[in-house]
Amino acid sequence: MASPLRLTIASAGRDEPVDTAWAEVQATFARVDAAMSRFREDSELTRLNRRAPAAMPISRDLAKALATADRARRVTGGRFEPRVVEALDRIGYLGVPQGHPAPAWAPIRPTRILDRASRAGPVSVGRPVDLGGIGKGLALRWAAAALDRWLATVPGPALGYLVDAGGDIVASGTPDGTTPWLVAIEDPAGGAEPVAVVAIRERGGIATSSIRRQRWEHDGRTVHHLIDPRTGEPGGDGLAAVTVAGPDPAWAEVWSKALFLEGAAGIAATARARGLAAWWVPSDGPLEMTPAARVRTAWVAAEA
C-alpha cells in the first residue's frame, strides 16, 4: 500500500516464534491492497471505478470498506469523502487510468457511495472512489484482529504488539508489561525532533494527515492530495498536519482527514466538540491540541 510495514512484538524476555504473526499482518495488507488500490490495474476497486455506474460482484473486504467510507461521510458531515478521484487526477495525483477523461468538477451530491440491490448482490458506485487512507486504517484494524487471534494461541501472559504502516499505527498491550507504547508525531517542517510524543495505554490507533510528502507543483501552483469535496481543490487552509488517536485506526484515519479539511480556522472547535484526541500543526505556528489529546501526551516540544 505504498507504505513501509513494521510489526513489533513485546517479548518480555520470552522467545516466542513470530513468523506466523508477521505472515498474518503481511497477508492482511496484501489482501486489502488487491481489493482497494487505485494504483493497480488488477485491483477490484480499479475494475469497479471503470465500470461506474454499472454494478459488479465484489469481495466482502471491498464491500465493508465502501460501507465504512459511506458511514464516515455521514458522520463527518461530508468532510470525509472518497469520491474525489477526478479532482486528484486533474492535479496530477494519478492512479491507473479510469478508462475515461476526468470531467469538469461537479459538486458531490450527499447520496450513498455504494448502491446494492440486495445484501449479497452486485455493487455500483456513482462516481470513482479512492479508498487509500481508510483502506490502510482498515488493514490495520484487521491486522490487529489477526494478531489477537494469534495471541490467543500463545501460552503465558498476553504480549503487546504495535503495527506501523507508514506512520499510521495500531497497538495493543504494552512493550514491557507496565509502560505504554510511545509514538512520536513528526515535525511537518522536517525538523529532526518530533513535535510531541503520544502514549498509547490501551488498544488503539493513531493516524496523521499531512502535506509534508504529498505536495507538488501543478500548473504553476503548489497542490496536495487532501481534497476538499466542497470545492474539488486541495483544502485545509493554514494547516500542515493533523494527528488523531482513538480506539480504532480506521476512524483515526477518517478524523485526521476530516479535521484537516476544517482548516486552521475551524479545527479546534470541531475537534473539541467531538471529544477527539487531536494534535495539529498550523502552517505558521506551533503545535496545538485538544484537552483529550493533552492527557495522552507524554512529551511535547518546548516551543509548543
Task: Label the pairing between strands 196-200 and 5-9.
Answer: unpaired
Residues 267-279: tens digit of each pLDDT: 999 999 999 999 9
- Asked whether residue 45 falls in the same domain as residue 124, the answer is yes
Q: What CATH number does the domain containing 249 carry? A: 3.10.520.10
Q: Which of 115, 130, 145 is the last residue of a domain?
A: 130
Confidence of residue 69 (pLDDT cuts 50, 70, 90): very high
**Position 293 in a domain:** yes
Q: Residue 189 is placed in which grid cell?
A: 517542517
Residue 14 lies in a domain: no
Residues 189 and 288 in one domain: yes
CA 2 to centroid of chain Cα atoms? 13
Which DSSP helix (H) or strand (E) runs through 181? strand 181-185
Q: What is the pLDDT of residue 177?
A: 80
Q: pLDDT digits over 87-144, tens only? A: 998 898 888 776 666 667 788 888 999 998 887 789 999 999 999 899 999 999 999 9
Residue ranges of alpha helices (H) inside the chain are 19-36, 44-51, 60-75, 85-90, 132-151, 249-260, 263-273, 291-294
- Write out the residue range of the structural domain in which residue 290 sits: 180-304
For residues 178-203, average pLDDT = 93
CA distance 274 to 297: 18
- Give, as one character, the DSSP assignment of residue 163: E
Residue 57 covered by a domain: yes
Cβ atoms of residues 290 and 277 within 8 Å? yes
Residue 91 belongs to some domain of the structure: yes
Q: Is the pLDDT of residue 11 over 90?
A: no
Q: Give percent of the chain with pLDDT exceeding 70.
A: 95
Are 218 and 110 members of one domain?
A: no
Count the domains in the chain. Answer: 2
If pLDDT is split at 50, 70 and 90, which confidence band does 156 have? confident
Q: What is the Cα–Cα distance from 79 to 64, expressed in whole angstroms?
A: 20
Instruction: Give the end of a domain, one of 105, 130, 155.
Output: 130
Residue 13 — pLDDT band, cuts 50, 70, 90?
low
Q: Which amino acid is at 65?
A: A
For 221-262, what is each residue's pLDDT tens digit? Answer: 999 999 999 999 999 999 999 999 999 999 999 999 999 999
Please check whether residue 4 lies inside any domain of the structure: no
On whether the CB atoms of residues 70 and 43 are closer than 8 A, the answer is no
Residues 208 and 281 in one domain: yes
In a domain, 144, yes or no: no
CATH classification of the domain holding 100:
1.10.3980.10
Are residue 123 and residue 184 in the same domain, yes or no? no
3-state secondary structure of 15: coil
Q: What is the DSSP code (8-state) at residue 192?
A: S
Q: Distance between CA atoms of 245 and 248, rounded to whole angstroms?
A: 8
pLDDT at 153: 85
pLDDT 10s digits, 17-52: 788 899 999 999 999 999 999 999 999 999 999 999
Does residue 136 belong to any structural domain of this protein?
no
Residue 304 has pLDDT above 60, yes or no: no
DSSP per position, 86-152: HHHHHTT---S--SSPPPPP-PPPSS-SEEESSTTS-EEESS----HHHHHHHHHHHHHHHHHHHHT
Q: Indicate the burial class of 50 (C-beta count within 10 angstroms; 0-12, 13-18, 19 or more).
A: middle
**Residue 28 falls inside a structural domain:** no
7 with 29: CB under 8 angstroms?
no
Query: Which residues is 172 bridged to in the sheet?
Result: 161
